[in-house]
A and B are shown apart, each in its own frame.
Chain A
């Protein structure tokens, strides 16, 4: 049986509250439909939790993290008491915007590792219909908790060591692309964690792979797509996504995506989520694109841009410039497509 213990806690929004509401908690029996549903959550956590995270170091730089301490205490002794400490931690960072939530803590084992899954379902409203002796009663209820809710959040930790393990994990936050306040609530505030791959690291990897793919690909159409992608990616600044998700959004063709994947150190890194950093991308960008208000678009290798296009300032106040370039036309398809 993979799940050994499950606890649930009702967590109120009490960030900045002078008095913290009492947190009700209970142990969930390992039978019944709720347990079956939670087993499903526990088993699917590996697929659903796609954001790799690590706990932050202590304030003095030591290898200590308050949230991890609570997590380890619960993993070592999964009790209502230890679970409530985690629930309290969640409660003090929960705003009214996030609202009331039901927290589930699931401790079990899988593939020789201890596995801990933490899930939060937000409260929703619903209607309950019940039949009683040929009569139907319909009632409005305010505390419905559904796994399919948009704001579903979860985190998964797995390790064979209950002493020094659990420093990294995986999380899912269905609101990750939403406002920063909400996306920070689960990972940054509650889990006291950061993305395992920093924005600059993920962005640099993407820029370098893109440069390498553009140089190595032979088919002009694919190269053209990758060059366009390099230009369009700048608009992703601050977004937390995987490279694959970004490419899908840009509508990159499969051959172009495969060419980029081949330039990655490992194919699975295409799915690693990071926060795109425009400044870092610019630093390693393979191509620089300049768009003029007359519709003109100039693209050249970043390192050689100034050499390829000589800029002449016509009117400094009006920011009017003239670009001059000279060369032999070796292909016109890029111009036609544009």
Chain B
């Protein structure tokens, strides 16, 4: 039986990076003319991160993914960064015209008293247009994940990932509070720009 982690590495080196590059161009072409798009990126999941995810277990110690090559849906991921909060809605509206989502969620902290990750996440069928002609379709992920975020949401999640997840020791309560504070600032900045934009336009 093929080791899924080894198989993923083969796919990553063989064609997934090319698929991601093409996907980026494909999404850019759909978003042509949509204002305030800061950037569009796409990547194939790094093999080390795929391996880490594939080995995850649930609270009972059972493997979370029985068939990681099928079940991990962000093997290919794309991100659209926009200037303002309203632009997220415009982008999602265009994207759902060209893709049939199987999931579309606005990720927000669980409580209104908490601050943390914000962003729109969609799981979409991977368009065959981005698969090189010599790659058989049965080895290509069927879906990809798309995130749509404002610049502030993006900046916060990148810094949070760097500081929070890469910390050698668990963060202290005070450090966690500091992270929540920066998230609140990012949320406030988005809110302030939305209001300013609305006032300037009216």
A interface with B by C-beta (< 8 Å): 54-57, 61-63, 65, 159-161, 163-165, 167-168, 194-198, 200-201, 204-205, 265-269, 272
Contact = CB atoms under 8 A, between A and B. Distances in A.
Contacts of A272: 128
A62 B128 contact: no
A201 B127 contact: yes
B70 A267 contact: no
Nearest to B94: A200
Contacts of A269: 128-129
Given A160-B67, A164-B70, A267 B104 contact: no
Given A165-B71, A267-B133, A55 B102 contact: yes
A147 B161 CA distance: 56
Main secondary structure on chain A at its contact with chain B? loop
Nearest to A52: B125
Contact of A196 (B30, B100, B103, B130): B100
Contacts of A63: 102-103, 123
Given A63-B123, A198-B100, 13 more contacts: A54-B102, A55-B102, A61-B105, A160-B67, A161-B67, A165-B71, A194-B100, A198-B99, A201-B99, A204-B98, A205-B129, A265-B130, A268-B137
B103 to A, nearest CB: 4
A200 B129 contact: no
B142 A167 contact: yes
A160 B70 contact: yes
Contacts of A204: 30, 98
B62 to A, nearest CB: 11
Interface in B81-137: 97-106, 123, 125, 127-131, 133, 137
Interface residues on B, range: 20 to 34
A160 B133 CA distance: 24
Contact of B104 (A57, A164, A168): A57
Contacts of B130: 265
Nearest to A208: B29
Given A62-B105, A63-B103, A201 B142 contact: no
Interface of B: 30, 66-67, 70-71, 73, 97-106, 123, 125, 127-131, 133, 137, 142-143
A198 B97 contact: yes
Given A201-B127, A266-B128, A266-B133, A57 B102 contact: yes
5 contacts: A55-B102, A62-B103, A63-B103, A168-B142, A269-B129
A205 B100 CA distance: 16
A272 B100 CA distance: 15
Nearest to A277: B97
A265 B71 CA distance: 27
Given A161-B67, A167-B143, A265-B128, A61 B97 contact: no
A96 B147 CA distance: 44
A57 B101 contact: yes
Contacts of A168: 125, 142
Contacts of B99: 198, 201
Nearest to A195: B100
Given A266-B128, A269-B129, A165 B98 contact: no
Contact of A200 (B97, B103, B143): B97
A56 B96 CA distance: 12
